[in-house]
Chains A and B, each alone.
Chain A
Amino acid sequence: MTAPRTLYDKIWDDHVVHTADDGTCLLYIDRHLVHEVTSPQAFEGLRMTGRTVRAPEKTIAVPDHNVPTTLDRANAATMTEDSRVQVEALDKNAKDFGINYYPVSDVRQGIVHIVGPEQGWTLPGMTVVCGDSHTATHGAFGALAHGIGTSEVEHVLATQTLIQRKGKNMKVEITGSLRPGVTAKDITLSVIGVTGTAGGTGYVIEYCGQAIRELSMEGRMTVCNMAIEGGARAGLIAPDETTYAYCMGRPHAPKGAAWEAAVAYWKTLFSDDGAKWDKVVTLKGEDIAPVVTWGTSPEDVLPITAVVPSPDDFTGGKVEAVKRSLEYMGLTPGQKLSDIKIDTVFIGSCTNGRIEDLRAAAAILKGKKKKDGIRAMVVPGSGLVRAQAEEEGLAQIFIDAGFEWRLAGCSMCLAMNPDQLSPGERCAATSNRNFEGRQGRGGRTHLLSPAMAAAAALTGHLTDVRELLVENA
């Protein structure tokens, strides 16, 4: 009998192609997702060495980072020259190497981490990589998924494998249930608040516990998406009936007898009793509050009811970092987080650009208008999310509330396209990074959930969404 294994151990073991004497492994990659920003140099490398793509049928490309999200984007003039060159390079590389492709004009286009699951490319037990750190998202399916650099993109294109050393196992358990107004985003930010942004370095996290089980696939993707913000390359959640129900009938999911065989295999994907964990973190679901970030690192997170901390509350190198953050963010220690006035609201990104996120925001906004003077936009994660939101009447709620209703893309999450903050502009954002300059030079980002972002749009300041829930009840 084999020793008890974690879910990560099991997926790893099933993908080892070769183990060298020093423990370095060649790991097989089942799905390789590709976007326009981190791939051109990799394809150029293939051409220069006369290599080909080993498994084009397992390689999926979609432009997302650079593409404009304004309704007039079919007009090439909406893109800067260098953005256009990158997107055209992906068009050409996809065609030349025969890989699966969703061009800007395709209704299925969207953020690569939303399109992959939506089309059924991402399935339990797979290894999934992409030249993007938020590849961790796909771990929600019980797939081992992580970001890679461009040299590794080239390596996977050429060999369908990756040179890897096995990471350590970390268990993050969220016990009990979440309270009303608390979401998957609050879970994942709260975990980072506990572990710090380097707490997961060298680990693969498995999220478990009742509060995780009770999340939809959309919520689970939000949780795993930010594993990287805690330093872990990958986050995982064991597949269950919720997972199978999401996958069933997707265009690239197995059908018929193959589906039955797949589910039988997926049911073996869980951490055995007695499996060894190198680190364990436990949070009570009931203790998690709606949270916001106040600084320039995702670990700078507190419940909305708290106040801005002082550098004196910290030790070591963090003291200087907090001084710098507070100056950059224009905040004063002791200031109530709920008193922070905002200029802009951004709802979207691979963290929170799925249908459930739009439903949560629309539920708060229904029949109301954003505060005067606030710039507010919703950027659906894919063309299909956008279409579904229109069908469900959510789009009209956003438009009536004074939000811009955009086309799919990464947009203001990383501000590579024209959607950017100006210096000093303060944004309530459902995205994943609040780094200096992330959403535009000098821009100030507060990370929060879609419901919290909607609440801030209504009041013009960071707001405890639970107060509005009482009002709506």
Chain B
Amino acid sequence: MEKFTKLTGIAAPMPLVNIDTDMIIPKQFLKTIKRSGLGVNLFDEMRFTQDGKEIPDFVLNQPAYRETQILIAGDNFGCGSSREHAPWALLDFGIRCVISTSFADIFFNNCFQNGILPIKLPQEAVDILMDDARKGANARITVDLEGQTVTTSDGQSFGFDVDAFRKHCLLNGLDDIGLSLEKVSAIDAFEAKAQALRPWV
């Protein structure tokens, strides 16, 4: 997993609430057996017509937002399915950070597994960031994970919370599985105890 430390990049506004995983990556693209290559299909049905032409109004098709690295989104971003194809598609497009008032739980977790930082901020802060993002490519937002701040193009800063363990993994690009396997003796001990207590499991 790629580390996430500090990012300054173009932010795109997506104020729609309840942007679901079917919008982020429609099911026809879940037939892959790989993690890579999904960026071209990100937001497919909002981004392209049925015959594959770009829909010019869609934010990521506008010249100012083609290099977007940060999404500023409406409430409850990523609701719906557990498909990790959603963060894979965001990452493959180049998006490393999503900011919203709220996220669906499974999507939120899946982001951290892929070096994407999801940030929850109060409505007022999201509104200001949304307005900043609307300015286009000149409005570059800075996200500093170490210092836990988001800063607008004109220098207004907001602090954010992040789980200490997830922060540590993102800053260092750590693999969860490797960390958990270090606790293999605790897993062995649990299994022995559980086998005695609940042998039918």
Contacts and interface: CB of A to CB of B under 8 A. Distances in A.
Contacts, number: 190
Contacts of A138: none
Interface in B157-201: 163-165, 176-177, 180-181, 183-184, 186-187, 190-191, 194, 197-201
Interface stretch (B28-36, B58-66, B134-142, B148-156): B28-36
Contacts of B103: 201
Contacts of B83: 37-38, 149
B106 A262 contact: no
B183 A155 contact: no
A245 interface: no
B50 A441 contact: yes
B17 interface: yes
Interface residues of B, number: 56
B26 interface: yes
Interface string A64-81: 011000000000000010
B180 A26 contact: yes
B181 A83 contact: no
Given A51-B177, A123-B200, A149-B106, A198 B75 contact: yes
A163 interface: yes
B16 A320 contact: yes
A320 B84 CA distance: 27
B114 A233 contact: no
Interface string B65-84: 00000000011100111111
Given A133-B81, A158-B181, A201-B104, A30 B201 contact: yes
Interface of A: 14, 17-18, 20, 22, 24, 26, 28, 30, 37-38, 40-41, 44, 49, 51, 54, 65-66, 80, 82-83, 85-86, 89, 123, 125-126, 131-133, 135, 146-152, 154-155, 158-161, 163, 165, 167, 197-198, 201-202, 228, 231, 233, 253-254, 258-259, 261-262, 265, 297, 316-318, 320-321, 324, 414-416, 423, 433, 435-438, 441-442
Which 6 A-B pairs give the minimum distances between C-beta atoms?
Answer: A254-B200, A151-B113, A149-B110, A40-B33, A147-B82, A149-B84
Interface of B: 15-18, 20, 22-23, 26-28, 30-35, 45, 50, 74-76, 79-84, 87, 102-106, 109-110, 113-114, 163-165, 176-177, 180-181, 183-184, 186-187, 190-191, 194, 197-201
